[in-house]
Each structure stands twice: as C-alpha cells, then as structure tokens.
Chains A and B, each alone.
Chain A
C-alpha cells in the first residue's frame, strides 16, 4: 500500500457527528433500507464529500440530518450537533437532532440557522410566485432579525457577496427572471444569510453548465474560508470531489463502503467499488480505442437484501465462498481511512473451511488475490 504524506494540520473542531444513521422506508414490496448505518464526522472549515450513484442513499442522508423526511420514513441513529466552540466532542452538550420533535420549534431553530441545505435544482427550489428577495428574507426574518428593513439590508449584502450584481433591482424579481447560475447563487445567499455552521449542498452544481459550475464552486470555497463553516458536499461527480473536498465518503446501497481524505482516496482506493468508480472516469490521454470501464451490473434495490456483501454481485474482486456469506464490517486501515470489504478483513470468513478455523489467508501475500492496481496518473 502506498501512502500519501500525512495531512499535518490539526483537525478542526467537530461540528456534526453522525452515528449509525438509518432510514428505512416501508414499501409494498418490503422494507427499503435506503440508508443503513451511516456514520461520519463533519468539522468546521472542512468539506466532506459524499459520493455515490443514484440509489446510494446520499440525498436521503442529507435530508435526514434535518429531519425533512415524512413520518412514514423510519429514522434511527444519532445526529449530534455540537456547540459552537466544539465543546461536547465527547457527546455531552450536543444536541441530538434525532431526538427532536419533527417540525417542532427546536428543530426549526436548527434548520436554516445552524444547518442549511441547498438543493440540486435551483429553479424548482424557489417558489415561482414569490420574489427572490422575499424568499431570502424569509430565512433572515426567521432567524436573525424581525425588522424588515434590516432583513432587506442583510439580504442585499449577501446577494452582493455571492456575486449577484445589481442586487437592488434583482431583489424584487421573480425566480423565472434569473438565469440558472444566478439562481444557484441566490440559493446560496439564502442558505448562508443566516450564517449556519454547516452547509449541506445536495448536488448543487449538477444542473449547471461547466463554467457556471466552476464559479459556484469557487464561491462556496471562498465563503467557507471567510466564515469557517463546514460543508457537506453530496455529488456523484468525482471530478468535483477531487477539486473541492477535504474528505470523501463513498456510499453504496445505503452504506459507506470507503472513507478517506481526498488525496488518499484517489491515490489509494481500497474498495473495489471505489476503484471501479475511478476507472470509469474518462481521462485525458486515453486512447481513442480504449473503452471506458464501467462497473458491470446495476445498482439493485435495497429491499430484502440477503446477508452478504451488497456489492458482491458486481464486484470484480469477489472472493468465492466469502463475500456471499456475510456482510463485511467497516475496518480502519489507518486512523483516517476506512473501508468495508472482506479483502482487507483479517477476520473474513475462510472459503471452504469450516467456520471457526483460525487460519486465514489474508495475511499471506502468496494467497492474497491479486488486486490490479493502477496508480493515478
């Protein structure tokens, strides 16, 4: 295993700790385990990227953080929001969002104020019947001041800050009068105007074209540097992740299958899924006849999954007799890099051996399956 130089900056204080978050949805076909035991940490000033294909449960995770799901969705786990100075890192003095009454006054005090959420489609995220200004000010009036004039000033200030020129005129315009990029900026203004500690961005640039995308991403990073807020960046676009995130968690079928600092992940992907994702990105220098290597198969539905590795059927590195027998657990390869795979599990069940055998093949290089490695270019 190659290693990358350790990140030597001291970790920033914890803002959000998610422990074993699960969202189970009862459907007519069975229980859909959309999010099945997700844990991560979010730190001030840092960007955590959550990557996965559609169906991986990343959006649901994001919404769970603010309890935005309907009552029919069964949520469990803990989402701890820490005090502003990081106190309560050990669990005390932290607010467990999961304990709050859904839509009650306490959670409403968190929404928009301490945790803000921005969405993928800025057009539909705004009400077409109300002005942009009205909608941005709504958050401000809820959380910062009751004075309309003051709220308006704050709104204008933020609009300018996110790069919406001519804010005086624009503030009274309707969403349909804004371009896509402008709207996303407005959305960011709306989210940040209350100066939250955490910004959760759910695919904020997917609907934008590339140049605008770059602008918006730049803007987000600037604001992060200015305000010190944490960002949780949810996307399926690995290129964006590479450019913006400090840490990445890869989700597959409701679980985190690998989590590592960004460089480490790109340099040293350990999970077959991660590797497959990285391989499937088109790159400069590929020959014209080279085919993209897609991961075979499609994402199954997370209903009535058998007790085995959820990626097994699509995994090129599956171990017969091992991967289908049990679910792999999350292992710490280093203190920053975790992976959920039998390939790295010293206690993985042994194929064709009676259960309980102490002999393992994992530590024996001669028996370890060859894992094709490719170092990033």
Chain B
C-alpha cells in the first residue's frame, strides 16, 4: 500500500509540471499583457503613463521576455526559494496575496463541504428507505430544482429574501462593526450568520447531486443478497441498514471527496462575486483578466495540484475502505 502511495505521489510531479506549463502559456496568450490593462485602468483614474514609463514597467516585471523565459524563471524561483512570484496588481508577492484570502476561502469551502455531506447523506438514505413515499418525492423535486438553478441565481434569490425578511442582505463574511475587533463569541456568531447564504448556495448543487447518488447507491445496496442474509440471521433493520447498506453505499461517495474539494474551490467564484465574499475566486478571476501572470499561474497550478492530490486521496480512501481493491492493488504493486 505504501509503495502504491509513493508511486502515485511521484507521478504527480510531472503531471503538475506539465499542467503548469500549459497554464502559463495559456494565460499569456491573449494579446496585451499586464501593463496594457494596467495602463487602461490608470487612464480611467485620470493618470497617464508615457510610453517610456510603460516600457520601464515592462522591463521591471520581466514582461519583455519571451514567455518560456518568464516561465523558467518562475519555476526556478518556486523550486529554489519557494517564491511563487510577484503579483503586479497587488504589488506584493503572490504568497502574501494568497495567504490573505486563504483563511476565508478555507472556511467557506470546508463549511460548504460539511453542509453538503451532513445534509445529503441522511436525506439520501431516507429517500431510499422510504422510496416513493411523499417525503421521497418532496426531496426529489427540491433536489432537481436545486440542481437546475444556477448558483448565482440562487445567491441573488437568497440575498433578496434575506433583505425582504430580515432587512439585511448579508453580504460578505462579516458585518463591518466586527471586522476590526478581536475574536469574540458575538463575532463568531455574526460570521456564522453570514456563512448561511454562501454555504447554502455553494453547497446546494452538490448536495442535490449527492442526494440522488446516495439514494441510488442505497437502493442498490439494499437489495443485495448479503442484506437478506443478515436479515435472515436476525440482525435488526437499523443495524442492517447502517452496517451493510450505508457502509457500502458510502464507499464511492467517500472516494469522491478528493475531487469535490477542488470543485468547491473553483465553482464558488461567481457566487463569491455575487455575495461579495473575500475569497480566492474573485481575486483570481481579476488576476486572469488583468493577465497578472504569476498570481494566476500560481492559483491555477494550485488547482491542478489540488485535483491531483484529490484524486490520490480518493484512491487511497477507496483502497482503505474496500478490501477487494486494496488486495488488487497490492497484487499489482
């Protein structure tokens, strides 16, 4: 098992490198570069940069080099100094920008994931056990509605409702009066209140999907022979459900946890913009649009790594949970 993990981890490295090259190349593909968009922005503010000043800026940022030279310099920096490069837009190292938003991003992402699994699994089990009951139909309908509604639309609807009912659209993650204070129970409560809409919006689509999958898996498992065997042994229904059906049904779901983390990181960008969340998504969107190469490259590289790690985690989990796969891999390794 250990050799398997080691082998997979080593394979990750070339994959991520290749992705980083492709990503870097694509980012600089659109015509223009960071300086040209920066100049347009400045113009709007009433500032002008002369051609000479623009060239000087380009030289300073290394944007006058061909893209592969920039890429190699960047990768070298990462490998030798752990330096992710410089964000032109923020005038700060990429690492500083990423760090600034990391905490909130993680909070939102983890909360969404927890919400998804905590809500979806019980409902999925219920739907399967009480198949075709009123409850099942209700959840199915709500589920499909949730999956069909785009995230941003749901965000707007919830914001609107919050505004109508509570007089507060709950933008952002924290009410302004708490932002400067130290941590207190009241502040945590405020943050939790603000988390409701983002978590519901971001979590909904995956929750609904998960409910359907869970339901299907449970129905599948519940009709299996060994469930009947257990029942014939005199095992209680609830134990049977939990120990045999649920446990088996969870396998494929648990093994997709790895991916869903990436999905949540990326999928929440539009939602974050609509809800004014201070997370990575909008920051990175701006980076891509402004061709802030290293910031965008670092983020996309990070996404790639997350996906690859996520897949690895999924595979490890699968092996851990399913002895058949474990042995198969052991035999192959």
Q: Find out whether the CB atom of A125 lies under 8 angstroms from the CB atom of B234.
A: no
A127-B248, A128-B323, A129-B323 known; A142+B233 contact, CB < 8 A: yes
A119 to B327, CA, bound (A): 26
Q: Find out whether the CB atom of A143 lies under 8 angstroms from the CB atom of B234.
A: yes
A108-B236, A174-B323, A176-B324 known; A126+B229 contact, CB < 8 A: yes
- B114 shortest CB reach to chain A, Å: 25
A110 to B235, CA, bound (A): 11
Chain A, residue nearest B229 (CB): A125
Which residue from B225, B232, B248 sits with its C-beta under 8 Å from A129? B248
Interfacial chain A residues near B193, Cβ < 8 Å = none
A124 to B248, CA, bound (A): 13
- A9 shortest CB reach to chain B, Å: 31
A119-B225, A124-B226 known; A68+B323 contact, CB < 8 A: no
Q: Find out whether the CB atom of B228 lies under 8 angstroms from the CB atom of A119.
A: yes
Interfacial chain A residues near B225, Cβ < 8 Å = 119, 121, 124-125
Is A48 close to B, CB under 8 A? no
Is B99 close to A, CB under 8 A? no
Chain B, residue nearest A113 (CB): B234
Q: Which of A146-185 contact B (CB under 8 A)?
A: 174, 176-177
A63 to B227, CA, bound (A): 13
- B1 shortest CB reach to chain A, Å: 15
Is A256 close to B, CB under 8 A? no
Chain B, residue nearest A107 (CB): B234
Q: Find out whether the CB atom of A176 lies under 8 angstroms from the CB atom of B327.
A: yes
Which residue from A66, A127, A135, A143 sits with its C-beta under 8 Å from B232? A66
- B245 shortest CB reach to chain A, Å: 10
Is A250 close to B, CB under 8 A? no
- A127 shortest CB reach to chain B, Å: 4
A91 to B265, CA, bound (A): 69
Is B224 close to A, CB under 8 A? yes
A66-B232, A68-B232 known; A127+B244 contact, CB < 8 A: yes
A174-B324, A176-B324, A176-B327 known; A125+B226 contact, CB < 8 A: yes
Is B7 close to A, CB under 8 A? no
Interfacial chain B residues near A176, Cβ < 8 Å = 323-324, 327
Interfacial chain A residues near B251, Cβ < 8 Å = 129
Q: Find out whether the CB atom of A129 lies under 8 angstroms from the CB atom of B234.
A: no
Q: Find out whether the CB atom of B232 lies under 8 angstroms from the CB atom of A126.
A: no
Is B230 close to A, CB under 8 A? yes
A124-B224, A129-B322, A174-B323 known; A138+B230 contact, CB < 8 A: yes
Chain B residues touching A, majority SS = helix
- A148 shortest CB reach to chain B, Å: 16
A66 to B237, CA, bound (A): 14
Interfacial chain B residues near A112, Cβ < 8 Å = 232-234
Q: Which of B184-237 contact A (CB under 8 A)?
A: 224-226, 228-237
Is B321 close to A, CB under 8 A? yes
Which residue from B237, B243, B323 sits with its C-beta under 8 Å from A103? B237
Is B247 close to A, CB under 8 A? yes
Chain A, residue nearest B240 (CB): A103
A13 to B232, CA, bound (A): 24
Q: Find out whether the CB atom of A111 lies under 8 angstroms from the CB atom of B233.
A: yes
Chain B, residue nearest A126 (CB): B226
Interfacial chain B residues near A103, Cβ < 8 Å = 231, 236-237
Interfacial chain B residues near A63, Cβ < 8 Å = 228
- B21 shortest CB reach to chain A, Å: 42
Interfacial chain A residues near B322, Cβ < 8 Å = 128-129
Is A14 close to B, CB under 8 A? no
Q: Which of A83-109 contact B (CB under 8 A)?
A: 103, 108-109
A162 to B214, CA, bound (A): 39
Which residue from B233, B243, B323, B327 sits with its C-beta under 8 Å from A139? B233
A215 to B132, CA, bound (A): 46
Is A116 close to B, CB under 8 A? yes
Is A80 close to B, CB under 8 A? no
A63 to B237, CA, bound (A): 16
Which residue from A130, A138, A174, A177 sits with its C-beta under 8 Å from B233? A138
A143 to B234, CA, bound (A): 9
Q: Find out whether the CB atom of B232 lies under 8 angstroms from the CB atom of A142.
A: no
- A135 shortest CB reach to chain B, Å: 8
Q: List residues of chain B with CB under 8 Å of any chain A CB.
A: 224-226, 228-237, 243-244, 247-248, 251, 321-324, 327
Which 3 A-B pairs give the minimum distances between C-beta atoms? A111-B234, A124-B225, A112-B234
A and B contact pairs by CB, cutoff 8 A, 27 listed: A63-B228, A68-B228, A112-B233, A113-B234, A116-B232, A119-B229, A121-B225, A124-B224, A124-B225, A124-B226, A125-B228, A127-B226, A128-B226, A128-B248, A128-B322, A129-B251, A129-B322, A130-B243, A130-B244, A138-B230, A138-B235, A139-B234, A142-B234, A174-B323, A174-B324, A176-B323, A190-B233
What 12 new A-B contacts, CB under 8 Å, besides A68-B232, A129-B322?
A66-B232, A103-B231, A103-B236, A119-B228, A121-B225, A126-B229, A127-B226, A129-B248, A129-B321, A130-B244, A135-B230, A142-B233
